[in-house]
Amino acid sequence: MTKPAITIHGGFFSELTTSPETKLAKQEALRFIIRKSWDFLQTHSALQTAIYACTLLEDDPLFNAGTGSQIQSDGVIRMSASICDGETQKFSGVINLEDVKNPVLVAEKLLDCEDRILAGEGALRFARSHGFGYYDPRIPIRIQDYEARKKAASKTGTIGCVALDSEGRLAAATSTGGKGFEIVGRVSDSATVAGNYANQFCGVSCTGVGEDIVNGAVAAKIVTRVTDGMPLKEAVEKTFAELKPFDGFAGIVAIDHFGNMIQKDSHPHIVYALKNEGSEEIFG
């Protein structure tokens, strides 16, 4: 029987503000969410837990996903999220989805569909047809930030979870509100295998600049290397070394099938938490 493990992240500290108060608030939020998600994992699968943890993160306005997502250049919030089930090797996602509360739950509905990645208007029609009603994810600070930064977008934030359950199953889920003030139609890494991927050997969730993460194929590379027999730490280090030539801005959380957990960022600092039977850590 496998010992369960879970790790979550809430993007980079610089994504909203660098104030000590916000850092502390994010740390406390992650501590609360990882404890709730750990309890949930005791009686649920890795897939169910990864989705559950992401909904909690999406619902917290401190993080750039779901409620509190960044506003794009035309004043509209468009969100992306994906799920990867390591057991079935099914990947599903939504790209540039508007006016729903929890994009990761729409991605969950797509897991059982033949067409599993939907974008824009099609994603919204699918969401509405499955009972996801209208929801405005804007919060006052995002509106103020948008008005103040119409000529300068900020660097980034995303939320995610990787979970390993007692049956040895791995799953990853990732959700983002984008980088803020991006060109309409821009696609985030979060609904691609570059930003969110898992199989029976490893699961990875990414945050950072989506273009850099896609350029580096970060999650897929790490998972592939672990699958091919490379230790998790070595796979992560090698993948991040390959970001250096273009100064790639990325952070990850990952778990392998042995229960090893790791966090890594190329620019300080990703905010994350991890938990198994013997540890709990909140990075500050």
Residues tagged active-site: 158
- Between the alpha carbon of residue 274 and those of residues 6, 27, 61, 213, 281, the distances in Å are 6, 12, 21, 22, 6
Q: Could you tell me if 203 and 163 are in contact, meaning their C-beta atoms sit under 8 angstroms apart?
A: yes
Residue 267 tokens read as 């620019």
Question: Exposure pattern of 109-120 as b/e (b: 16+ CB <10 Å)?
Answer: bbbeeeebbbbe
**244: phi then psi, degrees, rounded to nearest 5:** -65, -40
CA torsion through residues 71, 73, 78, 81, sign? negative
Q: Could you tell me if 245 and 239 are in contact, meaning their C-beta atoms sit under 8 angstroms apart?
A: no
H-only helix segments in 149-267: 210-216, 218-227, 232-241
CA 220 to chain centre: 14
